[in-house]
Structure 1
Amino acid sequence: MERSVTRGRRVGVFDIALALGGLLLVVLAVQNAGPALAALRGEGVPGTFTARRLDCIQHPGHEQCNWVGTFRSRDGRDVREEIGFYGSERGTFTPGATSPAFDTGRRGHVYGPGGSNEWVVVAALLAAGLGLIARPLLGVLAMVRAARPAGPG
C-alpha cells in the first residue's frame, strides 16, 4: 500500500513579515501586561484624582471623552499633572471634583476604584502575536514532515 506524502509549504517573505508583526504585538502586550494586571486587581499607589478639564474627540456618530487632571498620592510624594482618569466620560466629573484613584505606573492615566478590564486587550494582543509568529513555524514543521520518507504501510 502506498502512502501519499503531503508537501509542506515554503516559508516566504510574507510569512516572515507576519511573524515580525506578531513579534511586535507580543512586545506591546508584554510591556502593558504589568500595569493592566495591576489595574485588574486594583493595585498601585493609592491617591486622589482631581478633575481639571474634559478632553473629547469626535468620531463619526460617536464622541469619546476623558477627564484630565492631577493625581496626588495619599502620602503626597507623587504628583502627576495632566493625567487622564481611565474610563471617564463627559458626566463622570465636573472641574475641581475629586475621586479616589490609584496609579499603576501606566503612562497617560490613572484608574478609579473599580480598576479596569484592559487585560482583555493585552491578552488578545498576546494571542494574536503568538498566532502570527506560529504561522511560519508551522510551515517549517510541515516541510520537515513532508521531507520524511513514508514508513512501511
Structure 2
Amino acid sequence: MSRRRGLPFSSVVTALAGFILLWFTVPGIGPAVRAARADGVSGVFTARELVCVQHPGHESCTWTGDFLAASGTARERVSLYGSDRETMLAGATTPAVDIGRTYWVYGPGGSNEWVFTGLLLLLGAGLLGYSAFAARGVVRPSTPA
C-alpha cells in the first residue's frame, strides 16, 4: 500500500506568499502603465509644501501642492511623484499629468514605478510556479544535512 504525503509546509507558505504578492500587485498594473506613459489629464502642479521623512542616513522628500487641469478642474493636497528638495521651490509651477491616483500626479515624462511593479509580479508568479512544481515533486526543497 502506498502512502501519499500531503503538500510540504514550505510549498504552502511559498504559494501563499506568491498569491499575496499578486493580490496586492495586480491592481497596480494599470496605474503603473498609465504613470509610465504619462497617460492622463494634463495640467499644472503648483508646489506648496515640501514634506520630508528622515531615515537613518537618508532623507526622502516630495513636494505637495495643487493640481489644476487644463479643463479647469482643481485638486488640492496632491504630491508630485519623483519630486524632491532640489526640484522645485514653494510657489513654483510645473507641467503635470493626473492619471487618477488619489494622492499623486506625475511629470509629463511619466515614471519608472512600472519596474518595481513588474519585479513584484515576476516574484509572485515565480513563487506560485515554484510551489506548483514542488507540490508535483518536480522540485525538491533542499533539506539541511
Structure 1 ranges of 4+ moved more than 4 A: none
Q: CA deviation at 1:18?
A: 2.2
Question: TM-score w.r.t. structure 2 length?
Answer: 0.85
Q: Does 1:92 align with 2:113?
A: no
Indicate the residue corresponding to 1:25 in structure 2.
21
Higher relative contact order at CA 8 Å, sep ≥6: structure 1 or structure 2? 1
Say which is worse superposed, 25-34 or 96-105, in terms of deviation: 25-34
Q: Does 1:41 align with 2:41?
A: no
Q: Does 1:132 align with 2:142?
A: no
User: Percent of pairs identical after alignment?
Assistant: 46
Q: 2:110 aligns with which of 97, 107, 115?
A: 115
Indicate the residue corresponding to 2:76 in structure 1.
81
Q: CA deviation at 1:92?
A: 1.1
Q: CA deviation at 1:10?
A: 5.5
- Contact kept in structure 2, 1:11 and 1:136, CA below 8 Å: no
- Contact kept in structure 1, 2:11 and 2:135, CA below 8 Å: no
Q: 2:54 aligns with which of 58, 78, 99?
A: 58
- Contact kept in structure 2, 1:52 and 1:96, CA below 8 Å: yes
Question: TM-score w.r.t. structure 1 length?
Answer: 0.81
C-alpha RMSD of the superposition: 1.6
Distance in 2 separating the partners of 1:107 and 1:130: 28
Indicate the residue corresponding to 1:106 in structure 2.
101
Indicate the residue corresponding to 2:141 in structure 1.
none
| Count of matched residue pairs | 134
Q: CA deviation at 1:119?
A: 0.6
- From the superposition, tell whether residues 91 and 135 of structure 1 become closer, same or farther in structure 2 (CA, over 3 Å): same
Give the number of the structure whose alpha-carbon radius of gyration is greater.
1
Distance in 2 separating the partners of 1:16 and 1:104: 37
Indicate the residue corresponding to 1:149 in structure 2.
none
Structure 1 unaligned runs (5+)?
Answer: 1-8, 144-153
Q: 1:72 aligns with which of 58, 61, 68?
A: 68
SS at match of 2:42: strand
